[in-house]
Amino acid sequence: MGELFTMVVGGFKEDEWKITKGPPVILESLKDNSIIEIIDIDDKIRKMTFRQGGKIFIDKIEDEYRFYWNDDDLI
Q: How many structural domains comprise the chain?
A: 1
Rounded (5°) CA angle 71-37-28: 55
Separation of CA 2 from chain center: 10
pLDDT in tens, 50-65: 999 999 999 999 989 9
The structure's pTM equals: 0.88
Please answer whether residues 56 and 69 qualify as being in contact, where contact means their C-beta atoms are separated by less than 8 angstroms.
Answer: yes
Task: Kindly give the parts of the chain with pLDDT less than 50.
Answer: none
Mapping DSSP to helix (H, G, I), strand (E, B) and coil, where does residue 5 land? strand
Tell me the residue range of the domain where 27 lies. 2-73
